[in-house]
Amino acid sequence: MKHIYLNLKRFDIPGEYGGVNSLCPAPEYGSTIIRSVQDALSVYDPDETDFTIFFPEAHILSAVSAKNPDSALMIGAQSADRADTAPGGNFGAFTSRRPAAAVRALGCEAVMIGHCEERNEKRQLLRDAGVSDEQASAVINKALNDEIRCAVSRGLKVLYCIGERSEEQERWQEVLQAQIETGLQDIDRTGVVIAYEPVWSIGPGKTPADRPYIDKVARFIHSLDLQLDVVYGGGLKKDNAEMLASIEDISGGLIALTRFAGDIGFYPDEYLEIIRLYTGK
């Protein structure tokens, strides 16, 4: 099974506010993207490839409303809180937070947990509190385990992101194994997919991880006998789509921006082109 994910981060913010959205007015963002891609994706066999788009929460409802009943798309949220609502317990005191119950009630089928940007934000808070880097890693992995548990209990599929930073490269196996073992401890993994993000290679001016490195890491993850699919979370794009498709132990990828020069941003026609390049269809 192949999995193609799209993480729209905060690409809905228009240029006049410092963002990269030139696609449509922000209130129409979710519905515009779904209507622009769902018909084209219907040509793919759902038993061979699935497609998930992770929206900022503000756009989930309009995306769900624009989705056809027989659409090949799954709509996801960009995180879930580590606590949830419960009968006789917390029924909604989650100001600024996103419990899994809300994600499900809004119409989502999936959630992304552990993205490097989420890990970095948690790490910065712990660093500000004087927590050592090693202790911070353990705390973050446990917090993400709580998030995954809440998401799974609500029947949400989970894309669990793992990856090593530049200062962790020499011990990448230890780092990734800890993220996997703690993050997925006592979790029903039926609906879980792992996304590998080489954090050290992501961003302007950095050298992208090459095929041998990605292949090496994917083989290591599979060697842990998790019985889970692994996708490339470091950015599936036009430049690397065919290369990633050639790696046997990689079962898809995570798309974000589709254009990195000129009018930088996300463009639905370019998203569809990346999928064509990856699938060869």
To the query of whether residue 197 is one of the catalytic residues in this protein, the response is yes
Q: Of 94, 147, 152, 144, which Cα lies nearest the Cα of 119?
A: 144
Annotated active-site residue in 118, 147, 164, 197: 197
Distance CA 12, CA 7 (A): 12
Tokens, residue 88? 């006789």
Residue 207 DSSP code: P
Q: What does the angle CA 253 – CA 46 – CA 115 come to, to the nearest 5 degrees? A: 25
Q: How crowded is residue 42: how many other Cβ atoms within 10 Å of its Cβ? A: 13
Annotated active-site residue in 115, 118, 147, 164: 115
Distance CA 116, CA 63 (A): 25
Distance CA 276, CA 202 (A): 23
DSSP three-state, residue 269: helix
Tokens, residue 136? 């911070």
Q: How crowded is residue 275: how many other Cβ atoms within 10 Å of its Cβ? A: 24
Distance CA 97, CA 52 (A): 22
Distance CA 111, CA 217 (A): 23
What is the C-alpha end-to-end distance of the chain, expressed in Å?
15
DSSP lists the bridge partners of residue 75 as 53
Q: List active site positions.
A: 115, 197
